[in-house]
Amino acid sequence: MLFGQNFVNLTFENTQEAIIEESVFLVVQNIRQARRRPTKMGDMGMFSGLVYCADCGGKMYLCRANHFKPEQEYYICSTYRKDRTLCKTHSIRRVVLEEIVLRNLREAISYVTQYEDDFIQRAAERSLRERDKALAQKKAVLAQSEKRIAELDVIFKRIYEDNISGKLSDDRFITLSRDYEQEQKQKQLKAVVETLGREVKQQEQKKTNVRKFISVVKKYTDMTQLDATILREFVEQIRVSDTYTTDEQQKRVKVREIEIVYNFIGAFDFEGAREQSQTAQDKNNAKVGAA
């Protein structure tokens, strides 16, 4: 046995033929991480473990009762249930959520099937923008944390030297040392630096797995209804915001934003992408006709 030596584990991917497809493996991991929580009635909703509050980030749980009709079942923010002062209800009926998600998945399948090349390009460009933005934010926090660690190291050295030379009393030295150590513990600066360093490295290496999403789409070209398996093959997370009121055509209308984060590609506006692709196609057709 060797002591006093540091070893680094290296991982070399794709050196052997996979036993199962990576896309299948990632979906299974997603299912395992998003543990489904049984209701008090003993069963689990298909969205269990996937629905989150868009404001506080807490999970949303399915509320059911023996006297409820299926259309009365609803999801509610877990933070709000624990303490109503910490968040808002964000409640949404299960049937409404199911209808919205099904419509979005069918739109995704339709768009990818019709405009596969456009989808690949748009997904890659969007992923690059989001990755660069997230990377810049993490690098800024990382640089700030590293700077503070360096400052504290200098301060520790200075007060230690002042204590040795007699410029700083032992009592004052102990007090200052305790304060600075407490700052390090409270902010956990070194842990933050290590975590952010790993995240930055992973973010730099991360690529959008557009082809893997397309392979999932091709399995469900005729989707008519949802189930737990389909959801977990497509969806990583669903974020539900609280309702707000807006003016539309001189009427007060309640609006709720729902963001679907897809496996392999993240959030993606398929409806907006279709409009852009259709517009570009119409322009090309017009040019061809004019020629």
230 neighbors 96 (Cβ within 8 angstroms): no
Domain count, the chain: 2
Whether 226 and 277 share a structural domain = yes
Whether 256 and 120 share a structural domain = yes
Whether 158 and 105 share a structural domain = no
Whether 149 and 121 share a structural domain = no
Higher pLDDT, residue 207 or 173: 173
Asked, for residue 167, whether it belongs to a domain, the answer is yes
User: Does the pLDDT at position 253 exceed 80?
Assistant: no
Higher pLDDT, residue 134 or 219: 219
User: Does the pLDDT at position 276 exceed 50?
Assistant: yes
Q: Mean pLDDT for the chain?
A: 79
Beta bridge partners of 93: 74
Per-residue pLDDT band at 94 (split at 50, 70, 90): very high
Whether 226 and 176 share a structural domain = no
Question: Which residues neighbour 66 within 8 Å (Cβ) at sequence distance 6 or greater?
Answer: 41
Measured distance CA(210)–CA(120) in Å, rounded: 6
Whether 221 and 122 share a structural domain = yes
Token output for 170:
């032992």
pTM over 0.85: no
Q: What SS3 state is found at 253?
A: strand
Whether 136 and 201 share a structural domain = yes
Question: Which residues neighbour 78 within 8 Å (Cβ) at sequence distance 6 or greater?
Answer: 53, 58, 59, 60, 61
Whether 104 and 51 share a structural domain = yes
Give the range among 28-32, 43-47, 172-176, 232-236 with minimum mean pLDDT.
28-32
Q: Which one of 15-29, 145-159, 215-229, 236-250 scores highest in mean pLDDT?
A: 215-229
User: Does the pLDDT at position 1 exceed 70?
Assistant: no
Number of Cβ within 10 Å of residue 47's Cβ equals 22
Measured distance CA(175)–CA(182) in Å, rounded: 11
Whether 175 and 45 share a structural domain = no
Token output for 224:
């008519």
